[in-house]
Amino acid sequence: MGYLENQFDVIVVGGGHAGCEAAIASARLGAKVLLCSLNLDNIALMPCNPAIGGPAKSTLVREIDALGGVMGEAADATYVQMKMLNSSKGPAVRALRAQSDKKEYMKYMRNIIEGTDNIYLKQCCITDLIVKDCEITGAVDEYGNEYKTRTVILTTGTSLDGRIFIGLNSYRAGRLGEMPAIGLSESLRKLGFTVKKLKTGTPCRIDKRTVDYSKMTVQPGDEELHFYSFKPDRPVRPQIPCYLTRTTEETHKIIKENLDKSPMYQGLIHGVGPRYCPSIEDKIVRFASNPSHHIFIEPEGLGTYELYIQGFSTSLPADVQVKMVRSLPGLEKAHIIKPAYAVEYDYIPAVQTTHSLMTKNVKGLFCAGQINGTSGYEEAAAQGLLAGINAYNYINGSEMLELSRSSSYLGTLVDDLVTKDIEEPYRMLTSRSEYRLLLRQDNADARLTEIGHRIGLIDDIQFNRYRAKQAEIKREIEILSETKVSASNEVNNILAKYEEHIDKGMKLAELLKRPNITYQVIKKLDYNTDIRNLSKDVTDEVEVLIKYDGYLKRQEIQIEQASKLEKYRIPDDVDYSKITHISTETKEKLAKIRPKNLAQASRIGGVKPADISVLMVMLSK
C-alpha cells in the first residue's frame, strides 16, 4: 500500500470554495486537517464568473460570515466592483454582488489557509476510501499512499470523473487545463452510493484590448459601498465598470445553423444542465420568440486582459464561438483567449446524506458543494463550512449542527438537497424560501452570530461588537416608538417633498411605516438622531424592522405553525412498508429519504397531506 502517512482528524478532498471553508473551519476549531487538491495553484479558483453574491447568494455569503466563515471577508478584500441589486425593491430580494479580482481572491484565500495552524496541503488525487464497519478509517491517493483519518469531506466540484466538451470533441478533465479525479466514483459505488451525472458550462474569455466599449452600455459600481463581512473597517478599493451588450439577429442565425455541432443537441452529454443558467444555444431554442438577450462584459481582475462574457455560455465548436462573439455589438474584432466549454461530472444525490451533510451509508464521510448537486460558489462555500464544523463535531462526539429552514438560507439549501431528489444543478433562489422576508442578507448576523460564537468560530471581540449593534437597534426602535412629532407647518413642509402630510401628532415609528418615508426623512424631522450618530447598518435595520413589522410577525406565526410538525419526530427504524393507508410510492420515498420529522416528510415530492395525517396518527399511538 506504500508508506503510511501520519493520522489526520479530517481529510478534505478538493480545494475549491467548499474545500477551503471546510478545511479552515475544522482547523480553527482544533482539528488536524489534510487538504488535498489536484492542483494547489488553483485553490479557491473561480472557474466560471469571477463574482460573489447576487440574488439569494448574497444572503448565503452573509450567513457564512455570521457563522465564522471566510468567503465574505475574501470578497470584501478583493472586489473590483460592488453593486447592490434590486435596491429599489423590498428587503427580501435586495442582493449585494461583488465582481472579484480572480487572482487576488485566490491569493487571499491561500494566505488564510497557509496562515491557519493545523492545515496541511497535499497535491494529489484521492482515489479510494477505506471504510471499516460502515465508518471511515482512511483514504488512498493515486500513488498508493494511505492516509489514516476519522473523517473525510468530499468537495470534488466538477472534477469527479469530469469530461469537457467543445463542439463534438471531448476529453477527460474537470476544468479547462486540469486533470479529472478518476477512481473515487468507483470507490463510492462499491460503498453502495448512487452516483449520477450533471452538466455545467462556462463562456469564453476575451482580450479587453480588442473590445469597442463605445458600442456598449456602461454598468458602474455603487458610490455608496456595502460589504459582506460584519467585521468593521472593510477596504475601500478602486472600482472598474462592467458593460452591457446584446445578442443580435446574426448571433441567433449562427447558433441555429450550428446546432448539429452542439454536444447537447447531439446527445453526447447525458447530464442535466442548470435551468437558471442555460447555455446561449439553449436560450435561443427555448425562447425562440425573444429577438435579443442581455450579455454582460465583466473584468476578471486588475492585473489581466481577460474579460468574462456573462450570459454567453456555450459548448459549440471553437471556430463557431469566434463567429458568435464577433456578432455582438462592440466585439466585432474580439480575440478569444480561452474557449467556452461544457463539463459533465459525477455527483452523489444528496438524499443519501443527513442535514449535517454526513452520509447515511458511511459514518464520518461528508459531502459538500457540487458533489451534492448544487451550482455556485456561494452554495458550495456554505455547505463546506457546515461540513467542516460537523466533521469536527463528529470526531469529538459533539452534537451535529443542523440548521432549520426558518433560521437561514443555508438551512433551506441543505433541507432541499437532503429531502428532494435533485435532478439538475441546484441554485439558491429567494423563491425557494417560504421565510424569505425574515431571512434577509442584512440580518444574517442577528440570526446566526450566536451560533457561530457558541461553536467557536466567532471570537469574543466580534461577538461583543455584534451585541452592541443589536442593542443600538433595539434602543433606536424604542426611541422612535416613543418620540412624537407635531402636525406643524415645518413638519408638513418637509413631508410635502415626499408626498406625505399629517393632520395630527404622530410617533416617528408610525410615520416610518409609510411607503414614501425613509429613516433619512426621519432624521430631518428629529434632529436628535444626529446626536445618536448611528451607523448606516443600524439605521437600515431599524427601518426594515419598523416598516415591515406586520409582515415579519406574519412570517413568525407561519414558523410557529410549521414547528408543530417538527415536534413529531420519526424514529430511524420505522418500517414504512408495514404502514397501511398510504401508497406504495409514498412508502418507497419515505424509506429512501427517512425524514427525521413530519415537517421534513411533508416536503418530500409526492407525499400528500393525507399521508402526513396517517403518519401523525401512527406517531401519536
pLDDT of residue 438: 94
12 neighbors 34 (Cβ within 8 angstroms):
yes
* 17 and 44 Cβ atoms separated by less than 8 Å: yes
**In the prediction, which pLDDT does 606 show?**
77
Query: What are the CA-CA distances from residue 496 to residues 250, 344, 502, 517 (Å)?
Result: 52, 59, 10, 11
Q: Which one of 446-450, 534-538, 563-567 scores highest in mean pLDDT?
A: 446-450
- pLDDT category, 614, cuts 50, 70, 90? confident
Looking at residue 30, its pLDDT comes to 97
The beta strand positions in 258-314, using DSSP E, are 294-299, 306-310
* Residue 251 near residue 323, CB atoms below 8 Å: no
pLDDT-based confidence at 529, cuts 50/70/90? confident
Indicate if the pLDDT at residue 62 is higher than 90: yes
pLDDT, position 5: 63
Domains and CATH numbers, the chain: 205-344 (2.40.30.260), 468-547 (1.10.10.1800), 555-620 (1.10.150.570)
pLDDT over 70, % of the chain: 99
User: What pLDDT, on a 0 to 100 scale, did the predictor assign at position 126?
Assistant: 97
319-327: average pLDDT: 97
Cell (9 digits) for 443: 440580518
| Cα-Cα end-to-end distance for the chain | 54
Spatial neighbors of 531 by CB under 8 A, at least 6 apart, are none
- Listed residue (411, 458, 559) closest to 59, CA to CA: 411
**Cα–Cα nearest to 374, from 100, 16, 31:** 16
Does residue 3 register a pLDDT over 70?
no
pLDDT digits (tens, 9 = 90+) for 287-317: 888 999 999 999 999 999 999 999 999 999 9
Question: CA 152 → CA 23, 136, 379, 475, 525, distances in Å?
Answer: 11, 7, 19, 46, 59
**Grid coordinates representing 288?**
425562440
Task: For Cα atoms 311, 316, 320, give the angle at the middle one, nearest 5 degrees.
Answer: 95
Confidence class of residue 527 from pLDDT cuts 50, 70 and 90? low
Question: Could you tell me the pLDDT band of residue 477, with boundaries at 50, 70 and 90?
Answer: very high
Mean pLDDT of 45-60: 96
Task: Give mean pLDDT, residues 175-186.
Answer: 94
User: Which of 110-114, 434-438, 580-584 has the highest average model confidence (pLDDT)?
Assistant: 110-114
pTM as predicted: 0.94
Tell me the residue type at 453: H
The most confident of the ranges 119-133, 427-441, 590-604 is: 119-133
Residue 75: per-residue pLDDT: 98
Transcribe 250-261 into DSSP letters: HHHHHHHHTGGG
Which range (106-115, 168-177, 592-601) has the least confidence? 592-601
When mean pLDDT is compared across 86-100, 138-152, 536-550, 602-616, the lowest value belongs to 602-616
- Bigger pLDDT: 355 vs 599: 355
- The band of 241, judged by pLDDT with boundaries at 50, 70 and 90, is very high
Q: How confident is the model at residue 4 (pLDDT cuts 50, 70, 90)?
A: low
